[in-house]
Amino acid sequence: MKRLRLFLPYVKKERKFLVLASICAVISAICKLAIPFLTGLAIDKIRGGDLDVSALLIIMGGCIVGGSVFRYLFDYLLAILSQRVVKALRDDCYKALLEVPVSYIDQHDHGDLLLRLVNDVDNVQNGLIMGAGALFEGVVQVLTTLVFMLYIHWLLGLLVIVLTPISVVVSRFISRYNAKYFKAQNADLGKISSLTLETLRNGDAVRSYSLMGKKKEEFADLNSKYRFSSFRALFAASWINPMTRLVNNTIYACVIAFGICLIVFPSSFAFTGVAFTVGMLSSFLTYSYQYMTPFNEIADASTDVFYALTSWDRIREVLEAPKDIDNGSEELVEEVNRIQGKGIVFSYDGKRNVLDGFELDIKRGQKVALVGTTGCGKTTTINLLMRFYDPQQGGFFFNGREGVSIPKKSLRSHIGMVLQETWLKHGTIKENIGYGKPGASDEEIVLAAKKAHADDFIRLMPLGYETPISSSSGLSTGQKQLLCVARIILMQPEIVFLDEATSNIDLRTEMELSSAFDELMKGKTSIVVAHRLSTIRNADTILVMDQGKVVEQGSFETLMEKNGFFAELYRAQFA
């Protein structure tokens, strides 16, 4: 129950369907199990010479119809319950993934997270809800059958009760070790999903490096491991049913033998005070068989339940994942006039500092460029300014207020960012440009596209601005980048971050964009990360970074005259 403490509230919200389904299961079981008792009465009546059993047949017919109707209602209500619970669970799981820190997404395989949201939630539906429903129905049938058996002959019923734990112990003994096999199976499936997603996303790189054979080998290796783990899980689970059937058939044989003794030697069992007839033996044998059948169904359902519990544990990890910390309470209403970084120390893994004593001071309207070798901390600086991560020491200050004191939504509303990696959602070109400014007019969107020099190629598209696109559509990398640039131009933020924003655009388009960026950045604070040092000549200040620290700063001309680290980097690009 401790494992399911997060799951039970989902079921409690739909308790009306649960209660109604339970009532229908009980009525269906009573109707179904009354038939063997009525049949036994009919046999004894005929055996006694009375052939008029029409009343009993009518009652049996009513039980058959009633049992079918209430069984249908049970399945129907259980299906509604499962779908409503699964919807709520999947919604919360998706919401949790949106609320986790960026570091959580970075540290987990995206394919595995997708598997938890889709496949594992389906497993929970099939196991914990539908499987649990089958378990409940089986328990109801067992209890109802016991009532009828004890009513027919308490001693024979007691024999069945005494022998029943053997079946339960056997089932429990086999299934107790199954969870670890199902956990390994799910983990291997997650690795397959991650590799497949990675290969599909980077199909061009795989083909350009002729890695198809290697990827096939990797997939075959993972698939082989998954086959082995699946075989172990299914093999372990497959022992439950035949073993319980063997035990149940043995119990059934014992009941037949003892029942015959009750009829053939009634005087030996006179102390029971119960007359036992052929009709009642027929009813009891039917009950005995039906009493064992639910245990087989329970054994089958328990496999689904164990499998679902493993999937639930994976979902629970997401639901219990730490939320993105946002303790800010001071809204940033005014315009940002100054951005400062003081004594910032940051590490992704807690072992190596990416930023170590980083300092920054930017005034409103300045254009600042961050340059340096790969891994020096340029993009990390942007991530910290956006508060995707928070530093271990020091911090960034906006108008003298520490960034952690400002709500992230409030802080980010002042910032527009264009990254090296483009992102487009499934939708029209117009929807993608207007994504950052809901409610923008068509005229505003077209104007932003013109400033980004994207209007020309958009109008050549089949449906113009209404053309459906996505990240995997046929647009070139440069065209995707232009749409992202148009998006930020439409937003008109007062602070602009450009992280290699023009790295995937040709030189001619880059020159055209430069004028648009200059117009966009007038009166605004901008931070530009660039590898092409020739693109930052007009920056007010260039911060040269090395090993997480600012080692030089100044204008382009000043740094070139200094003939230091920056000048060396610049000359290396044109060597």
Between 178 and 146, where is the model more confident? Answer: 146
The answer to whether 386 and 527 have CB atoms below 8 angstroms apart is: no
> Among 241-245, 437-441, 447-451, 543-547, which is the least confidently predicted range?
241-245
506 pLDDT tier (thresholds 50, 70, 90): low
- Burial (CB count within 10 angstroms: exposed 0-12, middle 13-18, buried 19+), residue 146: middle
For residues 494-505, average pLDDT: 73
* Rounded Cα distance, 471 and 475, in Å: 8
For residues 462-478, average pLDDT: 83
Q: Could you identify the residue written with the tokens 């590898």?
A: 531
* Rounded Cα distance, 157 and 141, in Å: 15
For residues 568-574, average pLDDT: 76
How much is the pLDDT for 575?
52
* Rounded Cα distance, 219 and 450, in Å: 45
The angle that helices 507-521 and 477-491 make with each other, rounded to 10 degrees, is: 10
Q: Is the pLDDT of residue 511 over 70?
A: no
Q: Where along the chain do the CATH 3.40.50.300 domains lie?
A: 338-573
- Burial (CB count within 10 angstroms: exposed 0-12, middle 13-18, buried 19+), residue 95: exposed
Return the CATH number of 338-573, one of 3.40.50.300, 3.40.50.970, 3.10.180.10, 3.40.920.10.
Answer: 3.40.50.300
Q: Where along the chain do the CATH 1.20.1560.10 domains lie?
A: 8-319
User: Which tokens hold the place of 247?
Assistant: 């035990």
Return the CATH number of 8-319, one of 1.20.1560.10, 2.60.40.10, 3.90.1150.10, 3.20.20.70.
Answer: 1.20.1560.10
Task: Give the N- to C-terminal CA distance of the chain in Å, as an integer.
Answer: 68
Q: Is the pLDDT of residue 446 over 70?
A: yes
Q: What is the pLDDT of residues 395-415, one digit of tens each?
A: 999 998 998 899 988 888 888
pTM, whole model, 2 decimals? 0.70
> Among 73-87, 263-277, 391-405, which is the least confidently predicted range?
263-277
The answer to whether 195 and 222 have CB atoms below 8 angstroms apart is: yes
For residues 451-470, average pLDDT: 88
- Partnered with residue 497 across adjacent β-strands are 417, 527
Highest mean pLDDT, choosing among 9-18, 70-79, 99-108: 70-79
The three-state secondary structure class of 16 is helix
Q: What is the mean pLDDT of the chain?
A: 82
Overall size of the chain counted in residues: 575
Amino acid, res. 504:
N
| Buried b or exposed e, range 523-558, using 16+ CB within 10 angstroms | ebbbbbbbeebebbeebebbbbbbebbbebbbebee
Q: What is the pLDDT of residues 123-162, one digit of tens each?
A: 888 877 777 777 788 888 888 888 888 888 788 888 888 8
Q: What is the pLDDT of residues 25-40, one digit of tens each?
A: 999 989 988 888 888 8
513 pLDDT tier (thresholds 50, 70, 90): low
Q: What is the pLDDT of residues 411-429, one digit of tens each?
A: 888 888 877 777 888 889 9
Q: Name which of 178, 172, 86 is nearest 123 in CA terms.
A: 86
